[in-house]
Chain A
Amino acid sequence: MSAPAPSQVAARGFTHRRRRGAELILLVMSLVVSIGSYAAVGLGVEEEIPADIVGYGLWLAGLVLVCHVVIRRTAPYADPVLLPIVSALNGLGLAMIYRLDLARDTALAARQLGWMTVGVVLFVLVLILLVDHRRLQAFTYTSGLAAIVLLLLPLVPGIGNEIRGARIWISVAGFSFQPGEIAKVLLVIAFAGYLVLHRDALALAGRRIVFVDLPRGRDLGPILVMWLISLGILVFQRDLGSSLLFFGLFLVMLYIATERPGWLVVGGAMFAAGGLMAYQFVGHVRPRVDLWLDPFGGPDLNQMVQSLLGMAWGGLVGRGWGLGSPTLTPISESDFIVSAIGEELGLTGVMAIIVMYALLVERGLRAALVCRDAFGKLVASGLAVVLSLQVFVIIGGVTGLIPLTGLTTPFLSYGGSSLVANWVIIALLLRISDQARRPLPVFDNDDADATQVVSLR
């Protein structure tokens, strides 16, 4: 930490540094990992460095450097670790998708790079257009409505699309999109806006039962609505993962807004009841649980078994890029990309990835802690929590820790909607973190009563 001028210390306590140089160094390291992995994939599979390594490398470097420059210009105080982590994760995901492309003769990596470009464009737009995150509070109900419409879209005949049993896709003009991924971001904004306004009512009234403050019955409305929406996603779209994600997100934000663990108790009980009902009555839940309890009990080697065998085959240090058999694991470019990485980069690689996610989440929560306004705190913590829940559900699922539910692995998995939405999440986190870490404007103390013009930049 730098040593600010004594008078400033006295006035404001602690001042954050910009640390943009550190970000640049970390970014260069992340590019070395990304482009190095791409080269290693070529060497591993075809014993030569991919012919387009220069073009690929320049494109990737260009994208992250554009991000870096935009951050320097529009959010100079933003957290310096977020972008390099995202760059490294995205680069590793691209390398693994390219590796699977070579084995399966597909061309998903190029499309993923295209989606990454779209993600970066949106990232830049968010940072440039959204000067202050508090403006989003004005869109509380718009966001909520938009999120619900997006969630319903896959159920609309004609554009809704069912893939691998889950009806969470829409197809328009040849493009497939998972609107739920965008809805995730909108829901965080809607929840935050709503809770900022109503948190007092939700927090203050209630009755105490065995050390836990339980909320009033009449305040249960929103949680009931959210519970029903989650159940609806589970039943009608047959998407266990998203259902769990949205409900968990809502519960955590409710808890943070009201500071009342009672909401977690009520919500947890409702979730348990919903889960039990789903296990009993919703056709696709029970097999997932049974498969989790005994992956080898099935008649054939299912995706879960292949995932476990693949990760075990990777062992401590992995088989090396291109030297494992991740194609034996179904959908290893998307849901099972972590098991593909576990097979080729081993326990070491998977641990590195989990730690990167942990850093990402904790840095997001740190922005929430430092943030000065309640809305910003809620948005930042909501985004961080949704990331951590998603990572836990999918990595825990493919490694057999919890029942497997289909979710994308943020930044790693192939899939445009997920990638774009996650880039937007990072842009929002950077915006909030910039606001939070920026020094307070310097007032002219000699003339404290007068109205002053101060620079916010």
Chain B
Amino acid sequence: MNKPIRRMAVACMALFLALLLNVTYLQYFRADELNARADNRRAQDAAFSRERGAILIGGRSIAESVPSDGRFEFQRTYSQAQRYAPLTGYFSYTFGRSNVEQTQNDILSGSDPRLFVNRVIDLIGNQAPAGGSVSLTINPRAQAAAWDGIRALGENTKGAVVALEPSTGRILAMVTNPSYDPNRLASHDLSEVNDAWQQLNNNPDRPLSNRAAQEVYQPGSTFKLVTAAAALENGYEPDSRVQGGFELELPQTTNTLPNDGGGNCGGDSITLTQALQVSCNVSFGALGLELGADEIAEQAERFGFGERPFADLSAVATSRFPTGESNTDGPLIAYASIGQQSVQASPLQIAMVAAGIANGGTVMTPYLVDEVTSPDLQVLDKTEPTPLRSEAVSSQTARALTRMMVATVDSGTGTPAQIPGVEVAGKTGTAQRGVGNDASPLAWFVSFAPADDPQVAVAVMIEDAGVARTDIAGGRLAAPIARAVMEAVIR
């Protein structure tokens, strides 16, 4: 009977070998994948029991973990919560993370490979591993100016403000309203967290969404900067004559394209500068028809349309200029050229257009995370500015556009943005929404200053100020906020 017993010995060995191989696969090769699962409570518990790194602005923390007597060892707390919520995001046991809490999670939680040495030292010293901290590019004074400006229009004003440093792409301010309090989502009282989550998600104003970067809108007349850039790149000069008048006759339809308010642009034939100054729909519609959809689409792409501008926040929206015949056929291109129809841009994208013009034609990649540091304050990584598009427009075109925008603020629709003693370049916008223009329009303002040495480019978008429709003009509502932000940076 020894032969079958020997065979069984081999068979049993094979069974045990199979067990060994399987646990090796499970606990070594598959472990990372399983540990990274969002529904892994062990990983969540560990994240909540660990000292998570801080999110810093100008050396002061806006999000930090403090020791807690609650269910977990540390409580995440956010200071100036509403003002910074669209940047920090939330850190919730039940609902995960968003924005910087999400995109920089590896550093904040301490699991980043760059923190490996720290983890080993912590392990040897029997210390709980701590996370590194993340410094943002935000200028707190600009952020305050933007926040106060938008809240001054009313607590429920829907809108967003973005400010960039044109030469680097640093995001100096990014505000959205209505905002939310991430402290409520970080609570250890999970039923309270659940209530807050339901409330935020059922709110029709979508407070969890960052309007400045995660949503797109019709850019309205601010898009005329792109159309003007395309014209200048194709042989037009600021003094070139363009069509003016009351309305533009459109091909393939009996409809015509009127000016906002139905007025005349100041003559049947005006200069390009004048057209931008008064935001003449007829002129830019005609330019669009003349240049063609491809030319304008290409110019828009060179400013960054059609791609996700950066990854420091979660779910950053991509701005779009319509392509394909059904979207740009015949009269539609005229509407698209003035930022109506299916042109969609985030306030961040519009700020990038202004910043590109301000930076002599080079659009810098926007970034929010300035540097990341280890728990012992060693700098692990510092973001280097990189161009997104090295020549969105030629420096000549950039200079011409700057002059035209300065004229718009000096004596055009953008006068509310004037700063005494500083030359400001700007452009207003009003985007009509809804069937037959019945929904309340969007008010836009985009600008940069000082015009000769730009330090800040700002885009302001007010979705719904809750005021009468006739009262809305980008200049009146949005420009003062842009001015306050620019002043905060310059002075």
Question: Which positions in A face B, CB cutoff 8 Å?
Answer: 252, 255-257, 259, 301, 308-316, 324-325, 328, 342, 346-347, 350-351, 354-355, 357-358, 361-362, 365-366, 368-369, 374, 377-378, 381, 384-385, 388-389, 391-392, 395-396, 399-401
Contacts and interface: CB of A to CB of B under 8 A. Distances in A.
Contacts of A396: 18-19, 22
A137 B289 CA distance: 103
A311 B15 contact: no
B5 interface: yes
Contacts of B41: 301, 309, 325, 328
A309 B34 contact: yes
Contact of B27 (A259, A324, A350, A391): A350
A369 B26 CA distance: 35
A389 B2 CA distance: 20
B27 A256 contact: no
A86 to B, nearest CB: 17
- Lowest 10 A-B CB distances belong to which pairs? A312-B34, A347-B27, A312-B31, A358-B16, A388-B12, A401-B22, A256-B4, A392-B15, A313-B42, A365-B9
Q: How large is the interface on B (under 10, 10 to 19, 20 to 34, 35 or more residues)?
A: 20 to 34
Contacts of B191: none
A301 B39 contact: yes
A316 B45 CA distance: 20
B469 to A, nearest CB: 49
A259 B1 contact: yes
Given A259-B3, A312-B34, A315-B28, A358 B23 contact: no
Nearest to A338: B23
Contacts of A378: 1
A384 B5 CA distance: 10
B27 A401 contact: no
B43 A311 contact: no
Contact of B6 (A316, A324, A369, A384): A369
A339 to B, nearest CB: 10
A2 to B, nearest CB: 24
B31 to A, nearest CB: 4
Given A256-B4, A325-B45, 19 more contacts: A259-B1, A308-B34, A309-B34, A309-B37, A309-B40, A311-B23, A311-B27, A312-B27, A313-B31, A315-B35, A347-B27, A350-B23, A354-B16, A355-B20, A369-B2, A369-B6, A377-B1, A392-B15, A400-B22
Contacts of A346: 27
A204 to B, nearest CB: 15
B382 interface: no
Contacts of A358: 12-13, 16
B8 interface: yes
A395 B4 contact: no
A448 B288 CA distance: 122
A378 B31 CA distance: 41
B34 A399 contact: no
B19 A392 contact: yes
Given A309-B34, A354-B23, A400-B26, A255 B4 contact: yes
Contacts of A316: 27-28, 31
Q: Is the interface of A mostly helix, strand, loop or mixed?
A: helix
Nearest to A395: B19
B118 to A, nearest CB: 19
Given A259-B3, A365-B9, A388-B15, A325 B27 contact: no
A342 B42 CA distance: 14
Interface of B: 1-6, 8-9, 12-13, 15-16, 18-20, 22-24, 26-28, 30-31, 33-35, 37, 39-43, 45
26 contacts: A252-B8, A309-B35, A311-B27, A313-B34, A313-B42, A315-B28, A316-B27, A325-B41, A346-B27, A351-B23, A351-B24, A354-B23, A357-B16, A361-B12, A362-B12, A365-B5, A369-B2, A377-B1, A388-B16, A389-B15, A391-B16, A391-B19, A392-B15, A396-B18, A399-B19, A400-B22
B4 A259 contact: yes
B8 A381 contact: yes
Contacts of A401: 18-19, 22
A346 B42 CA distance: 15
A351 B4 CA distance: 27
A388 B18 CA distance: 12
A313 B35 CA distance: 6
A312 B30 contact: yes
Contact of B8 (A256, A325, A392): A256
B42 A325 contact: yes
Contacts of A385: 8, 12
Nearest to A396: B19
A396 B21 CA distance: 11
Contacts of B37: 309
A314 B27 contact: yes
A346 B31 CA distance: 11
B94 to A, nearest CB: 14
A365 B42 CA distance: 41
Contacts of A400: 22, 26
Contacts of A355: 16, 20
A385 B12 CA distance: 7
A388 B39 CA distance: 35
Contacts of A351: 20, 23-24
A399 B26 contact: yes
Contacts of A377: 1-2, 5
Interface centre among A301, A313, A355, A358 (most CB of B within 10 A): A313
Contacts of A366: 9
A103 to B, nearest CB: 13
Nearest to B21: A401
B27 A315 contact: yes
A160 B6 CA distance: 40
A392 B12 CA distance: 9
A259 B45 CA distance: 55
A384 B20 contact: no
Contact of A384 (B4, B12, B16, B22): B12
A316 B29 CA distance: 10
